Amino acid sequence: MAFEPPPRLVRALGETQHNGDGGAGDWLERLPELAQQAVDLRELTVERVQAPGGRSSLVMLVRQIDGTPAVLKLAPERARPESERAALAHWDGRGAVRLLNPGDTHGVLLLERLHPEMSVRSLPEAKALLEAAGTLRRLWVEPPAAHVFETVTERTGRQAEAMRATASADAEIGPLVDAALAAREELLAEPPAERLLHGTFRQSKVLAGERMPWLAVGPDPVVGECAFDLARLVRDRVEDLIASPSGASITRRRVKRLAESLEVDQERLRGWTLFRAVESGVRARRVGRPRDAELLLEFAGWL
């Protein structure tokens, strides 16, 4: 099976190598072999590689031996595929894509086929936010006992260290980083009830399905408060917000509307939105994506 990994995946894994993760490069070199092995072992027929695909995984549209359409996903260790497997197994199709191989080979996920060409992002903005929020609500369940998932405290702790290191060498972003870190400390001081969260939820992560109109894909699951999950959705279509002369006021209204519709504390949502936007902006700056960094940090300044 000859194929070229999608350019988006190659670029994204190149960024992780820039951050010192040599394993990502090794995995990419072995990817054709790994993909062929995964297909042969499961007796799958490959229709095509999904492009642009994910930033941390190879996604192939396949058919099982009985002709049933499915999706085969291969991901390196850094993308935490076994954490994704555990979350999808726990949700068992409720609000998320269904896992078809719960006990399969490490790093290989076989998933039900959705409609990759149709995400919630294709809808008008107001409708997209409504449908995305409804999907997200279904995912917020109690985590399994003795779960294996990273917590919000752990994940944001690692991110905070990287933010401090970048800011120490870049005085221009210091005030925003300080504000984001202060918000994190305040939020973690008195956290509300913990739930299993998608972790990287946004409109493009919600695809049209057959069982249900919309189902979430591609989680990087984490356990913590719901406002952390919702915060990523607040900045969806950030390029449109920045281009709008009333972007700042639209953002504040979006925070209020999403907080009210999902019964999340508005100030906690604002705080996590600030932290996550600054973290993403600082990371984009660090790996050489200045345009993305500029958009995200300008957005964070409105909060």
In our burial notation (b when 16+ CB lie closer than 10 A, e otherwise), range 30-39 reads ebeebbeebb
pTM equals 0.93
Of 135, 125, 68, the C-alpha closest to 97 is 135
Containing 45, the helix (H) or strand (E) segment is: strand 45-49
Say how far apart CA 76 and CA 92 lie, in whole Å.
Answer: 23
Residue 119 pLDDT > 80, yes or no?
yes
Say how far apart CA 39 and CA 193 lie, in whole Å.
Answer: 41
* Structure confidence by residue, pLDDT tens digits, 221-274: 999 999 999 999 999 999 999 999 999 999 999 999 999 999 999 999 999 999
Q: What average pLDDT is seen over the chain?
A: 92
Q: Please, what CATH class does the domain formed by 118-301 belong to?
A: alpha beta
Alpha carbon distances (Å) from 15 to 25, 84, 202, 286, 289? 10, 21, 21, 9, 10
Residue 20 pLDDT > 60, yes or no?
no
pLDDT exceeding 70 applies to what percent of the chain?
96
Task: Let me know if domain 7-113 sits in CATH 3.30.200.20.
Answer: yes
Containing 24, the helix (H) or strand (E) segment is: helix 22-41
The confidence band for 23, taking pLDDT boundaries of 50, 70 and 90, is low
pLDDT for position 9: 86
Per-domain boundaries in the chain = 7-113, 118-301
Say how far apart CA 262 and CA 69 lie, in whole Å.
Answer: 34
Helices 247-261 & 125-139, crossing angle to 10 degrees?
A: 40
Rounded to a whole number of angstroms, the CA Rg of the chain reads 19
